[in-house]
Every structure is written in structure tokens, then in C-alpha cells.
Amino acid sequence: MPTAIPKKLIVLGDSGVYGWGDPEEGGWCERLRRHWMGLPGGPVLYPLGVRGDGLERVAARLDREVSCRGELRRQQPHRILLAVGLNDTARVGRADGRPQLDAEGFLFGLQQILDRARLMAPVLMVGLTPVLEEPMPYAEVLWYSLEQVRRYEGLLEEACLEADVPFLPLLDALLEDPCWPQWLSSDGVHLNSEGHRQVYQRVQRWPALLRWAELEPLVRATPLN
């Protein structure tokens, strides 16, 4: 009897996907990879995060990253998950400086990358995580703010709605918990281990992802906290 080909998920993004800030378990994406690897029939997950990447850099490596992860001849990844945008929100030089990618360019770029990615495989997208403004500027030059993060997550949601792409908003769900500042590293931008755990739990229970992975019955009873 031939062995079933496992589903493959490509996750493209920035340091959040890379897992920066989580020395315990390597980040929310790595936690999901390990979880699925331990399940019968769990999908294969490729976490492809690069620190500092914004939308334009992720778009530049989209084709290359996806095309070389088929594993088997004539096979392509079955799904693409995009987790990007936080770096684009940062203002350069001062708190009221220009953003690394302005809102109009960000929305246009989102529309373009979603159109391209959907030609390769169905797409999912997750939202942005909070920032602490007190430690700014990050790296002595970048100013992150909750106002900008909220605005850009709204653009993510808008582009996904227009393209009929499942979207998981994160910002408000995380901010609802008064403990959220404790989930960030001292730089105010990167999640720490607890922050990655919080994101992992939300992504792991995301109905759109579970339906695709055909794992819904296995995790339905998993508690959030």
C-alpha cells in the first residue's frame, strides 16, 4: 500500500516566524511544527522566517521559497501561511517619521503578494502582535507604536477579505489580556517565550487551519491557557 503524501505548509514571515525571543521552544511556528510532527498524519511545516523582513522582502523570496519545498517530484506545497507586516509599521528616525512602508504601498503590496501566492497554493494569513512603546526607538532608529500596528493589521484584514483569504487577527485578542506587556521582550517589539506560546495556542486552534490540516477532532478540547 503506497504511503500517503503528507500535506505541506510553508510559513513565510519575519522574526516572529523565525522564533526570535523564545529560547525555550523556538517560537510559535516551531511549536506548531513539533506539535504536528507528533500527530498521526500531521502536516509537514516549513518555518521560513527572516529577521527584519517586511512585506517587500517576503514578496521577493516568495517564488524561490515555495518552489523548492515540494520534497517529491511534481509536488508543490499544499498551503502558504503569511505572517508579515510588523516591520513595515515602524517609523524611521523619530516617532513621527516616515514608515518603512507607507499604508498605501503596504496595501498595494499585500494585494500583489496574495495574487501571486494564490497561483501556487491556497493562502492563509495571520495578524500582528502588540508592541511596547516605552523602549522605543528599537535599534536606535525605529519607532513602533500600537496605533500603527492596529492600522496595518486592518489593512491585512482588508486585503484578505477582498481576496477571500482566511485571516486570523491577533492584536485585539492579545491586548484583551492585561498581562500582554509581560509577553514581550525588553526591546518592546519581539515576543518572549510566553508571547510565542500565546500566539501558538491561537494559531493551533484556528478553525481555518484545522480544517485544512484535517486535525480538528484531535485538538478541539485543547485549553487556551
- Where are the chain's structural domains? 8-219
Gap between the Cα atoms of 220 and 104, Å rounded: 39
Residue pair 130/184 in contact (Cβ under 8 Å)? The answer is yes
* pLDDT score at 69: 73
Give the residue from 34, 25, 29 showing the smallest Cα distance to 49.
Answer: 29
Residue 187 to residue 141: CA distance in whole angstroms: 13
Question: What distance in Å separates the CA atoms of residue 66 and residue 64, rounded to the nearest whole number?
Answer: 6
Contacts of 87 (CB under 8 A, 6+ apart): 14, 52, 53, 54, 100
79-108 pLDDT per residue, tens: 999 999 999 999 999 999 999 999 999 999
> Which CATH number fits the domain 8-219, given the four candidates 3.10.310.10, 3.30.43.10, 3.40.50.1110, 2.60.40.3080?
3.40.50.1110
How many residues can be counted in the chain?
Answer: 225
Distance CA 159, CA 113 (A): 10
Mean pLDDT of the residues in the chain: 92
Average pLDDT over residues 27-41: 94
Q: Can you give the pLDDT at residue 71?
A: 61
| Amino acid at site 196 | H
Confidence class of residue 70 from pLDDT cuts 50, 70 and 90?
A: low
Closest CA to 113 of 80, 147, 90: 80
With 0-12 / 13-18 / 19 or more C-beta atoms within 10 angstroms meaning exposed / middle / buried, residue 210 is: middle
pLDDT tens per residue across span 189-223: 999 999 999 999 999 999 999 999 988 655 544 45
